[in-house]
Structures are given as C-alpha cells and as structure tokens.
Structure 1
C-alpha cells in the first residue's frame, strides 16, 4: 500500500473560526457532561461526597486550562497535546500524548451517542438505543464532512440552546429544592461523614471529570482559528468558567429536587428529576427531553471535530497511516479521519462483552476509558509545559500560565492523584487502556521510516 499519496496541498486546514465559534466548541465539547454521566458519581460517593470530588476536579481543570492555554497559543497546531509533547520530548512523547488523546476523543462519543438514544427512548419507548446511537454517528459525521465553518456555527447554536435548557431545568425544579433532599444519605448512603465515605469520594473521580472532559479539544481546532493567539485564551477561560457554574448549578438543583438515589445510576438524570417535580405528562418535561438533546448533540458533534483533527494530525506526521490525513478537495475537512474515528466509536457501542466490567453499565465503562486517556494526556501536557519552559525559554508565548509554577504543578499533582485512584478502582479498564496504548506503540516502532519520509517531505515543502 502506498502511504504517501497525499500531496502537502491536500493536507492543509483553513483558518476560518472566530472567538465566539471557539467558545461554542469549548463549551459544546463538554456540555453533555452536565446532562448525564456525572450522576454515576452519586452512586459511589453520595451527593455530599461527590460535591467534594467535583470541587477538587473543577479546581484541577481550572488550573489545567490556564496552563494548557500557554501551550495552545505557543504551538497552535491541530495535533494539540501531540504537538506539545513531541516538541518537548521528541517522537515518543508525541506518540504517548497523541495516543492518549485519541483514546479520550474516540471513546467519549459512543458514551454520548448512547445517552442520545436513552433520551429519545423516554419519548419513544420502542426505539433501540444502540441503533439511535449509530444513526447519530451517521448524521453528524456527515455534517462534519460538509465543512468546519458550518459545523462550528451549528455547534455554537446548539451549545447556546443547551445552556438555555440547563437554566430552564434549574428554574423549573427550583420550587421543589430542599437542602434536606440533597444531604439525605449524602455520604455514600450515610447521613454523616465517616472514614467509610472516603473510598466513594475517590471512586467517583471519573464521573466528576466527565463534567469537564474534552474542553481541551479546542486546541485541535487551533489551525482553523483566524487569530489563535487572541481567540483561544478567551475561548478557554470563558469556557471553563461557564462550565464550572453550570456543573455546580445542575448538580445542586437535581440533587435537591427529590430522591437523588433514583438518579444515581441512569443515563437521563435530568428528565427523571423533572418528572419527580412536574409529572410525566408535563410540557416542561417533554421540552427538557427534546431540548436536552441539544446538549448531547453539542458535545457529540464537537468531539467529532476533536477526534478527527487528532487523527488527521497523527496521520499527517505518519504516526497513523498517512492516507487518513487526506483533506476533502471540496469541503476542506479531514473526511477520512472523521469516518475512521466514527467506525471505532460504533464498534464501542456494541462492545458490551469487551468493556463491561464491575457490574457497571456500558456507558459508565466507556466514560471511564475516555477519562483514562484524558488524565494521561493532562499529565503529559503539564510535563511538556515544564520541559518547554526550561528547554525553550525564548519561545514565543502569547499567553503565559498565571501563577507559574503553582497552577501547572497543582494540575499535574491532581491529575496524578486521579490516575492512581482510577487505576485502583477500575483496574480491568486500565488494563484495556494499556493494551490499546501498547498496540499503538508497536505500530509506532514499526513505522519509524514513514515518519522520517514525512519529515523530509515537510522540510522540502517548507524550504
């Protein structure tokens, strides 16, 4: 097979995205985390225990984003973490960060697609959730292929609608809010804190991360930003502040509106919370189901943008087969990368026998797999920041991490704590994650000659 059939002109992305569109991608990538996934943390830690977990993770993400923005603006490439780690630690560092990011962004969409199926099943009980998930892939891969400007504008629209819907949810359930509801059994099923509450607090880490997972995906749209040095910091900082406020609001109002234990192990906690307040036949409830889909669609669609750019960037430098880096001649999008990531995601939807461990639902295990990739990438990115500060002190840094070295150090330490905790509580999924990384590493070692050839082509083109 010829792995070098694409010319350099075939493999270029166009800078067409503005600040508002990048903010829409930042929030849209993540906002489904406010609709589902996080409530599994209540099953582990209770409402109060999970609040501690969520606040710790929110602080980790805030310090991480302020630090990560320095990397994104100094190296605005579609590979994002792959590009930063490669610059800091060479090809092996690039592989590790790229592969971890790929696991995160390829495994997050199937979890969201399954949640889309669960939301629609509320309205149409006869629907097969997995077939709805596959249909979602087909529709939104097609939209992504048509063009990034159209895709980003759509992303902005559905993100705004999703934010409005979360505010409506809080408003509708607020009359039923009671602090007594929220704190009842709030420490892993107990009414008071004890040493027995601590394991649940740690076990809930992946589901707190789900509140914010994938915000870093804006980095993968950096080559398509009109003014990345200005627009990306604004998009990141405004995005993380928006998400922290929404996460706290949704969690508190949902937990205080009734019996929170009914919401702790399901894919559609917000509709169920609203049913307890307004009843199954209320127009408010039906509106939440339909408009709630916007939140799921925003993240699903946005992460397709993210995974496709990561596959594109890895393929462009021959870390994956180079034919995946082909850009559509009419639409200017990495259509082969979009389709390849979608194929893996659809396989994950039907992987019950492979990714079902510990008695948890398939969605919870897919979420955990994505989080393993994310945390590994966060650790590598912070290490890259420290390395580049030391090795390239004169590198242009349009945005510098505030409170350096404390912010990136906290983000690195917190991510390490998250990783160790997740390994302890999800060992079998960690083994599967390591297996994916090792399989990729074998490919990485066997294809070094292709990367050398790609580097020669790139150097000749630049010259």
Structure 2
C-alpha cells in the first residue's frame, strides 16, 4: 500500500499490551451493564447456564478466530476473511453483519454512560450525556491510533481494577440463597425447567463477550501481528471469562437481584445493598465504573471505523469513507459516519422500542444479531480456507481442529435460530438492514471493480508460500 502524503496508510504502532487492552476494553462494559437483562428473562440460575454455553462458544471461537487474524492481518477483519473464502458476496454478508454489530453496540454503551452520570447528576439528561460521549471519543480516535490505544489500555486496566473492588466490597454480603432465590424464569417447555428463559437470554450472555473479535481490525496497525495477536486474544478471553462469572455471581448474591434485572446500572445498585445510599464506595464505583463503559465505547469506535474504512477501500461502501487523515493517519470520515448512525439510534425510541423490551435491550439484541452472523461466517471461512488454501501461512492454528471451530459454529447457529424465534421484531429489523445493504451492494458493482488493489489482496499474496 502506498504511504505517501497523497495516499497515507494506517500506522503500525501497537504492541501486544495495546492489543490486549483493545480486546478486553472492547468488551468490558458488558460486565458493567446489559447482561442483567438476562436475569429478567431466565432468572439467575437459568442465566448462569446460558452464560456457561456462551462462554464455551466464545472460548472455542477466539482460539479459532486467531488463526484467521494472524493469517490475514487486515483492518476489515471478518469482512476480509469471508471475501477471501467466499468471494464478494461472502465479504458483503460478513462485512454488513460486522457493521451492524459495531455500529449498534456504541449507542447502547453511550446510553449506559448517560445512566451512570445521571446517578451522580440527576438533572443531566442521559441522552444528552450519551451524545456528548460520542463527540468526545470520536475526537480522541481521530487524533491518532497510538494515543487512542494507550488511553484504551489505561482505562481498561482501571476498569478491571474497579470490578475487582466491586467484588471485594459486596463480598461481605455474599449469600448463595440470595443468588438462587427465584432463580428460574420462563416456562417448562419440553419438560425442562425454564428452558425458554435460558434460550431467550442468549443475547444478554453474549453481551458479556461481544466485540472481543474487534481487535482483529487493528491488525494493520499492529507490530508483528503474528506474535502479538495470539497473546492478546488468548489472554483477553481468559480475563473476560473470569470477570463475567465473578461479577454476575457476586452481584446476584448481594441482595434482591430482581431489582437489578431491568436497569442500566446494576453494579452501583447492587453495591447499595451492602454499603447504603451514601457510601464513598458507591460514589467511587459510579465514577470509576464509567471507565469500563468508556473503554468499550472508545474501543468499539476504533473498531467500527476500521471496518467502515476497509469496506470503503474495497468498494463496498462509498469510497470517500476510506480517506485517511494525513496529519493523524486515522480514518476520520469513517469515525464520523459511524457516530452519526449511533447518535441517530439513541433518538430512535419509536423505531427500536418494541416487543416489551427497552430501547437499550433492543439495541443490544440488534448488535448481537450482527455478531452471531459474523461468527458463523468467520468459522465457515476458516473451514473453507483450510480446504481451498492449504498452503496459506498460518502462524497460529486453531487447536483441536476441527473440534474448536466446529463447536463455535454449532453454538453460533443455535444462538441465531433461537434469537430469531424469541426476537422476531428485532430479527425483522436486522433482516431489513441486511437487505438494504445488499441492494446497495448489487447496485455498486462498478464501484468495487474500480477499487484499488488494496491491502486485502496484497497481504493475502504475501502470506502464501
């Protein structure tokens, strides 16, 4: 790729710690909010089972996905792998699904940031705070990837520390009786206790881990991606699994979990059970807890911008979105474009609030639909490339192949089918977005034909022995 002033490229500045910070930071807001809606659907015990299933899917997925990321280190991530494996149409499906995931996740997180700030400043409108967060962190992302990644690493470490503090503060009130009281929700469909609740809660368990794969989109900005990406991904998924189960169990065991199941700030409210309304611990959690939300919000802005940039560079989106700022070497137009869509989603109450779910819950579910389709396409791409390109250099190979990618693929398909069944309105909206995207894809074939021979093809050729 050219790197002159007229055609600046992304800058390789990120090490293993930066990538770990991005991988964990992208996700860590899922430990702070969103997941507790699963309690309302499945109960604490039912949701625990759901989370075990989803954690198994993510662990096997990440160990498999790392093979693709190191073999084809490209800013498009899943879009690049599916295009390599299945051609332009495959690239469209994976790319469009990834865009839905990464563009719809930030407004949900921004709304949670607004809810946390509203706890401290009741007069502050949460939506106003959410828009302010967009403007602030879009600007930070535009100013440079190393600055953005260093900030991401800092807030991620602080957010992890805060989660450990939360567990320590509520631990004196730990009671398994609290956690298990009324722990099954749903119906006895097929003779299994709360079976429907367990399955219907899948999107909220996925929220614990959603977007960890976004670190792949920083691959073109990573130093030695063949070495640094596996370290970041494996350490990242282990970090998140431990935190997810720790936070969920200790929050539920602190008091009446039903009061936490339909709100955007379950951790401060859980802490109130133990320390009361006016404790300094509570104020610390609200303020420092914001860093967990900020880490994910900031990181996903970085992720969606690289995805938009990569697809625009390949002619799947308007080419103007592939412009790199010559001063900061960041895809500034892609950052702004994703922000405009996210801010619109925050104010789309009538469009996205339905089916008895809150605006946040439906946005979470929409994002998860995109993620699951992308996971399916990624694992299918891995199997296809193993057959069609056995000579492709694979610095990291999926362990226990084909068991791990097969397990991830099977659970992802199960998740998609059950999510469509339990969320038909959100599924219809997701399908509508995909069909609109395909119409654009079909009408712009000349745009793709005119696209330059970008890093997707150059990188791929250099990796084949």
TM-score (norm 1): 0.96
Select which of 115, 120, 132 maps to 1:135.
132
- Aligned counterparts, 1:63-82, within 5 A: 63-82=60-79
Aligned residue-pair number: 457
Q: Distance in 2 between matches of 1:132 and 1:44?
A: 29
Look up the match of 1:389: 386
Select which of 446, 449, 456 maps to 2:446.
449
Is the CA contact 2:173–2:274 (under 8 Å) kept in the aligned structure 1? yes
Q: Are 1:289 and 2:289 an aligned pair? A: no
Deviation string 1:41-71 (CA, Å, 9 cap, x unpaired) is 0001000000000000000000000000000
Gaps of 5+ in 2: none
Look up the match of 2:155: 158
Closer, same or farther: CA 226–199 of 1 in aligned 2, 3 Å: same
Is the CA contact 1:57–1:209 (under 8 Å) kept in the aligned structure 2? yes
Look up the match of 2:334: 337
Q: Are 1:146 and 2:143 an aligned pair? A: yes
Q: Distance in 2 between matches of 1:283 and 1:446?
A: 58
Closer, same or farther: CA 276–457 of 1 in aligned 2, 3 Å: closer
Select which of 230, 234, 241 maps to 2:227.
230
Look up the match of 1:83: 80
Q: Distance in 2 between matches of 1:78 and 1:139?
A: 23
Closer, same or farther: CA 457–72 of 1 in aligned 2, 3 Å: closer
Look up the match of 2:48: 51
- Give the 3-state SS of the residue equivalent to 1:186 in structure 2: coil
Q: Are 1:317 and 2:314 an aligned pair? A: yes
Q: Shift of the alpha carbon at 1:8?
A: 9.5
Closer, same or farther: CA 460–16 of 1 in aligned 2, 3 Å: closer
Is the CA contact 1:11–1:316 (under 8 Å) kept in the aligned structure 2? no
Q: Distance in 2 between matches of 1:184 and 1:274?
A: 18
Q: Distance in 2 between matches of 1:20 and 1:43?
A: 36
- Aligned counterparts, 1:198-209, within 5 A: 198-209=195-206
Q: Shift of the alpha carbon at 1:358?
A: 1.1
- Aligned counterparts, 1:61-460, within 5 A: 61-188=58-185, 195-455=192-452
Root-mean-square deviation (CA, aligned residues, Å) is: 2.0
Q: Distance in 2 between matches of 1:27 and 1:432?
A: 29
- Give the 3-state SS of the residue equivalent to 1:10 in structure 2: coil
Is the CA contact 1:11–1:325 (under 8 Å) kept in the aligned structure 2? no
Q: Shift of the alpha carbon at 1:10?
A: 2.3
Q: Shift of the alpha carbon at 1:261?
A: 0.4
- Give the 3-state SS of the residue equivalent to 2:451 in structure 1: helix
Is the CA contact 1:8–1:461 (under 8 Å) kept in the aligned structure 2? no
TM-score (norm 2): 0.96
Q: Distance in 1 between matches of 2:362 and 2:381?
A: 29
Is the CA contact 2:186–2:196 (under 8 Å) kept in the aligned structure 1? no
Is the CA contact 2:70–2:395 (under 8 Å) kept in the aligned structure 1? yes
